[in-house]
Structure 1
Amino acid sequence: MMRSQLISLPYPTKKFTGQTIIVTGSNIGLGLEAAHHFTRLDASKGEAAAASIEETTGRKGVDDVWELDLSKSESIQTFANRVDTLDRLDVIMANTGIMTKTFTRVEGNESQITVNVINTMLLSLMVLPAPRASAIKYKKPGVLSFTGSFVHYVAGYSERNAPSIFEELADEDKATMTGRYNVSKMMELLAVRELASKVSESKKESQVIVSVVNSGWVKTNMGNGEKSGLFAAFGRRYIARETEVGSRTLVHAAEGDPETHGQYLSDCKIGEVSSFVSSDAGAEEQKKVWRELSDILERVKPGIISVSEIGIKV
């Protein structure tokens, strides 16, 4: 990871002319900086923090701001309904996430599991038909990319041995919150890999390129307000990338190289997942996470799994 921080990331130059791009979490941090790049690179429409982007890029009337609260499934439904009104959607950057060491129950699960895993996937499945429809119309693959993290390498994931992973993680008496964010990013990675395998089975003309992108250690507001050790404080100040530099990894993922489908991207290229994720045990865990997650999502919105796998809403 430290070696990765020293890599100079290429400044984005590939145009997104005419494309409509959604970046969640674009009011601050990585999402906002990525939205700056997309607007600069000629995207025709974006859903982001408009005022800041217009000031930075000089382009007016390109960006809209849509409210989205990933801790509330009702907010996700409202957001997805607005997505349905778009004539075109080329790229979805699922960038929203939270980090906390305090156990809080949100919609029946610990908050990081709800936001970083369950509701991130709920949103993605609800809006997935839009880029698939655009892929057919414009004969260009869509992109659905998730902001992951290198911390999946160090996730202490003992909960996977429980009969139900999500129920185990929702038990406050058993919760180890120090590494819970790492666990949430591990589970997100597993879920996205399984989603990518299912998207691969769809018709080529409605293809969406699904990936997970690691921005590296970046100076963002995530985790602000939480106590951190001396190494974390030192690293954030002297080792972490500037937010704009980290955002280049999101733009790289949005470019939609077909070879990036199903891949973990790092330093603006295809990277390697942890040895556990790539192992046979990891493959089994990937299926288990998807089964449990599917059951949860079906309870929230019946039919979402089958509709998403068909690709176009019927």
Structure 2
Amino acid sequence: MPRFVGFVRDQYTALPMPPVPADIAQQTFVVTGANTGLGFQCAKHLLRMGAGRVILGVRSVEKGEAALAAMRQETGRHAAGEIWELDLQSLDSVESFGRRLGTLDRLDALIANAGVVMTDRQVVEGIELSLLVNVVSTMLLALRTVPKLQESARSFNTAPHLVIVSSNSALESDMKGAVPPAGSDVFDKLSEKKGFGTFTQYPKTKLLQIYAVRQLALLLPVAASGVVINAVSPGLCYTDLDRNASPPAKVVLAIMRKMLARTAEEGSRTLLHAALAGPDSHGAYCSECRVKNEDVPTWITNASGKATQERVWKDLLKRLDSLGHGVDIAALAGGQVV
């Protein structure tokens, strides 16, 4: 009950817009899932703030173009913004997107917002679909983006950001023990039909995200890499994230939103905060437009939680390698600023 009371209080917290960086006209931002919801509002804010280059990573180019047209109309920046295709259901698409990012002159933030909630269990690449999209593909994109962020930090004496959009649902007490015990592969176990459900699978994927972000931030300290890595929860918002949910699930979410939800515009402010926050946000959990590590339960941060974190990370790298998308972590560390 205390946590629910805190959640209600948080949902009614006023969310400020972050200060506009003085050099934003020279900066480049990438927002995935930017044709709708939080991503749309975040990208629109960046355009309105005067960002030099805003790239919308979208699965449907047609929908992306329509979204960008709306943003241009609303912001008056009629030549700004770009549409890049990105399908997180395909690791090859992620790799192509990552290579394209590598051609940019600079990159100041990747806001990895795209995600999915599934009602029906589907398996793609041998993994349950929401695990693939929310964890495996999202983290592969993050890892492929790190070199460009490090390069930008060196070249422009700035602190680029890698932001993973997660969820406060990952921190609920019923998620304790959600990660399978040692001796079993995390992704195999969580892809099984047993235990799959709309209101259980999504927070599990977000929990794995938080573990992965914490481990990556540990391996790439901001003082050495120049890159700020964090996870952000936008809270409960009016978005179409539940577009794949069953009718009963949509009814439950509709009732919750009617009572407590933020608008997508309000929620997008949390994404902007995480993308512009200081180095104190590195490895942190952000929400309500501030660093909120106090919300992260001890079962994530204690010795047992750290062991789980390392196992999630190990299984993630192993899975990427088995799918032909291996990551050289030592090389990423070797690309650090100092």
1:177-201 per-residue CA deviation (whole Å, 9 max, x = no partner) reads 240001000011001100000111x
- Cα offset for 1:19? 0.5
**Closer/same/farther in 2, CA of residues 24 and 304 from structure 1, 3 Å limit:** farther
1:145–1:211: 8 Å Cα contact kept in structure 2? yes
3-state SS, counterpart of residue 104 of structure 2? coil
In structure 1, what is the Cα distance between the partners aligned to 2:71 and 2:108?
A: 20
Match of 2:259 in 1: 238
Residue 14 (str. 1) matches residue 17 (str. 2): no
In structure 2, what is the Cα distance between the partners aligned to 1:280 and 1:161?
A: 15
**Closer/same/farther in 2, CA of residues 53 and 14 from structure 1, 3 Å limit:** same
Match of 2:287 in 1: 266
Match of 2:53 in 1: 45
Residue 143 (str. 1) matches residue 164 (str. 2): no
Match of 2:118 in 1: 100
Give the aligned CA root-mean-square deviation in angstroms.
1.7
In structure 2, what is the Cα distance between the partners aligned to 1:190 and 1:65?
A: 30
TM-score, normalised with respect to structure 1:
0.93
- Cα offset for 1:13? 3.7
**Which of the numbers 300, 303, 309 marks the counterpart of 1:280?**
303
Q: What amino acid sits opposite 2:53 in the alignment?
A: K
In structure 2, what is the Cα distance between the partners aligned to 1:143 and 1:229?
A: 33
Match of 1:297 in 2: 320
Match of 2:195 in 1: 175
**Closer/same/farther in 2, CA of residues 281 and 156 from structure 1, 3 Å limit:** closer
**Structure 1: gaps of 5 or more residues:** none
1:96-139 per-residue CA deviation (whole Å, 9 max, x = no partner) reads 11001211001110011111111100011011111110100000
- How do 1:202-217 residues align onto structure 2 when only pairs under 5 Å count? 204=224, 206-217=225-236
Q: What amino acid sits opposite 1:33 in the alignment?
A: Q
**Closer/same/farther in 2, CA of residues 67 and 230 from structure 1, 3 Å limit:** closer
In structure 1, what is the Cα distance between the partners aligned to 2:156 and 2:36?
A: 31
**Structure 2: gaps of 5 or more residues:** 1-6, 57-63
Deviates more, 1:282-291 or 1:159-168: 159-168
Match of 1:113 in 2: 131
1:192-237 per-residue CA deviation (whole Å, 9 max, x = no partner) reads 100000111x763x41000000101000001124232765321112
2:176–2:299: 8 Å Cα contact kept in structure 1? no
**Closer/same/farther in 2, CA of residues 240 and 51 from structure 1, 3 Å limit:** same
- Cα offset for 1:277? 1.2
TM-score, normalised with respect to structure 2:
0.87
Match of 2:33 in 1: 25
Match of 1:58 in 2: 76
1:9–1:245: 8 Å Cα contact kept in structure 2? yes
Residue 256 (str. 1) matches residue 277 (str. 2): yes
Match of 1:309 in 2: 333
1:145–1:210: 8 Å Cα contact kept in structure 2? yes
In the alignment of these two chains, the number of paired residues is 309
Percent of aligned pairs with the same residue?
33
Deviates more, 1:125-134 or 1:174-183: 174-183
**Closer/same/farther in 2, CA of residues 229 and 43 from structure 1, 3 Å limit:** closer
In structure 2, what is the Cα distance between the partners aligned to 1:190 and 1:303?
A: 17
Match of 1:74 in 2: 92
